[in-house]
């Protein structure tokens, strides 16, 4: 499928930036694919598979297989073009492989909770621990040094927020933060990987606060830009309905949640995806393509985490399942609060380098009460590829079903935020 939104821009004195349908990149996807393929054997990635034909949607979805991976062994990638989906599947597998604790020279130094607070100067609640955690001053946590992009200093962050998987036995300590890969990202350059990781952290925060209190607005399918308006009409003829909601957030960035509902009663009746970006079209593309990826991953059945959604209905009597599904659909397809796509705030990406976009975001976060943006750069030894983990204290994260909640989530849930 032709990606009409792909173009190149160059900021004054800056590196070249390619605007893809669902991301900003430093080079063409063919070069990224070549670099990623060269890393497959060393990272235990055995193959990349096109699973697009398993579904009717027509949006490209690929999977990459990492048989000995910890936590997740089948990784999916999506996009408006086949090569973008292929690259996405491979890059996710690379991220997971590089962040595996078994590949690290060290799991970090141990600090007591009291010492960590003194060294870091941040409350641990700002790192959004599990609700069940009862911190003790003498409890010791493994920590890694990260670069604070705002202050130009090094800060110590619990290793469980950097490496994955981070279960208790891996670190020899109680589980404090749950298992999440939020902020784990890769790219052709350090700036590219950093921007992707930072935007994902902000996206997960926006979605978490959305679940605390729904302030979303309906975007009519007929109001969507190309090619999604056409795709929505095509899918509707197949009995698959697309709902798009704009998610307001504390960063004033375009964020969308897209849901695909299969009204035919097929096995995958509901699949969703979300996306946040500087550019509203890119954010929309990420959300819709991720919904298609989620649906196809369930059809494919290869991912380790696809049974979680269906498990919630397994115990219900058959006659109650339809009502439960209807209750889930209602908020996604509600049209009382609306916004036109053209009215969604969007920021220009042309004329700015990836480094400038990162710098702008870090500075803006500081002004909005997020003074620390920490980055871990993995020493992966990959030729032409970078993998990072971004941690932004005070940002919320419910990804992977973790039972985490910070002060902002609590305030929003009780109507004070």
Q: pLDDT tens digit string along 113-132?
A: 988 888 766 678 899 988 88
- Which residue stretches of 108-189 are H helix? 113-120, 168-171
81-117 burial, b for 16+ CB within 10 Å, e for fewer? bebbbbbbbbbbbbbbbbbbbeebeebbebbebebbe
Beta-ladder partners of 102: none
- In this prediction, the residues of the chain whose per-residue pLDDT falls under 50 are 1-14
Question: Two tokens at 308?
Answer: 């979680």
pLDDT of the residue at 310: 62
pLDDT of the residue at 2: 35
pLDDT of the residue at 19: 65
Residue 232 belongs to some domain of the structure: yes
Residue 276 belongs to some domain of the structure: yes
Whole-angstrom distance, CA of residue 216 vs CA of residue 229: 20
Question: Chain centroid to CA 291: how far?
Answer: 13
CATH of the domain at 261: 3.30.160.660
pLDDT of the residue at 24: 83
388-412 burial, b for 16+ CB within 10 Å, e for fewer? bbbbbbbbbbbbbebebbbebbeeb
Residue 380 belongs to some domain of the structure: no
Residue 405 belongs to some domain of the structure: no
Strands (DSSP E) found in 80-163: 109-112, 140-148, 153-158
Total structural domains in the chain? Answer: 1
Estimate the crossing angle of helix 82-98 against helix 29-39, to 10 degrees. 40
Residue 66 belongs to some domain of the structure: no
pLDDT of the residue at 13: 36
Contact 175, 132 (CB under 8 A): no
Residue 61 belongs to some domain of the structure: no
Q: pLDDT tens digit string along 210-233?
A: 999 999 999 999 999 999 999 999
Segments forming the whole domain that contains residue 308: 214-343
pTM score, two decimals?
Answer: 0.92
Residue 316 belongs to some domain of the structure: yes
Residue 352 belongs to some domain of the structure: no
Task: Write down how long the chain is.
Answer: 417
């Amino acid at each position: 499928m032709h990606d009409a939104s792909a173009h190149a821009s160059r900021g004054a004195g800056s590196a070249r930036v390619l605007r893809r349908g669902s991301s900003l990149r430093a080079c063409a996807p063919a070069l990224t694919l070549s670099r990623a393929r060269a890393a497959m054997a060393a990272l235990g990635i055995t193959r990349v598979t096109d699973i697009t034909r398993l579904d009717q949607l027509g949006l490209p979805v690929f999977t990459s297989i990492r048989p000995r991976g910890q936590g997740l062994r089948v990784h999916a990638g999506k996009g408006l073009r086949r090569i973008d989906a292929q690259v996405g599947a491979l890059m996710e597998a690379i991220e997971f492989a590089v962040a595996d604790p078994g590949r690290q020279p060290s799991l970090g130094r141990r600090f007591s909770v009291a010492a960590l607070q003194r060294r870091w100067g941040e409350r641990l609640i700002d790192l959004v621990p599990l609700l069940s955690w009862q911190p003790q001053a003498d409890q010791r946590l493994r920590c890694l040094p990260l670069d604070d992009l705002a202050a130009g200093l090094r800060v110590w962050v619990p290793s469980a927020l950097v490496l994955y998987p981070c279960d208790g036995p891996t670190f020899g300590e109680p589980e404090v933060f749950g298992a999440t890969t939020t902020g784990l990202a890769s790219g052709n350059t350090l700036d590219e990987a950093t921007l992707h990781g930072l935007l994902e952290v902000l996206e997960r925060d926006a979605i978490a606060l959305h679940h605390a209190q729904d302030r979303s607005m309906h975007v009519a399918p007929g109001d969507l830009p190309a090619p999604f308006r056409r795709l929505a009409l095509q899918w509707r003829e197949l009995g698959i309905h697309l709902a798009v909601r704009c998610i307001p957030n504390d960063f004033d960035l375009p964020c969308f949640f897209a849901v695909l509902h299969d009204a035919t009663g097929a096995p995958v009746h509901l699949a969703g995806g979300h996306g946040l970006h500087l550019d509203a079209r890119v954010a929309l593309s990420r959300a819709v393509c991720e919904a298609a990826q989620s649906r196809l991953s369930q059809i494919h059945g290869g991912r380790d985490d696809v049974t979680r959604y269906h498990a919630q209905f397994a115990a219900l009597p058959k006659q109650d399942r339809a009502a439960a599904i209807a209750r889930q659909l209602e908020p996604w397809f509600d049209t009382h609060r609306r916004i036109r796509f053209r009215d969604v705030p969007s920021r220009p990406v042309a004329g700015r380098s990836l480094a400038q976009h990162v710098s702008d975001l870090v500075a803006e976060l500081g002004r909005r009460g997020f003074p620390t943006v920490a980055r871990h750069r993995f020493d992966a030894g990959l030729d032409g590829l970078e993998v990072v983990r971004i941690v932004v204290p005070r940002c919320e994260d419910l990804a992977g079903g973790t039972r985490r909640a910070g002060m902002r989530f609590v305030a929003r849930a009780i109507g004070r935020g």
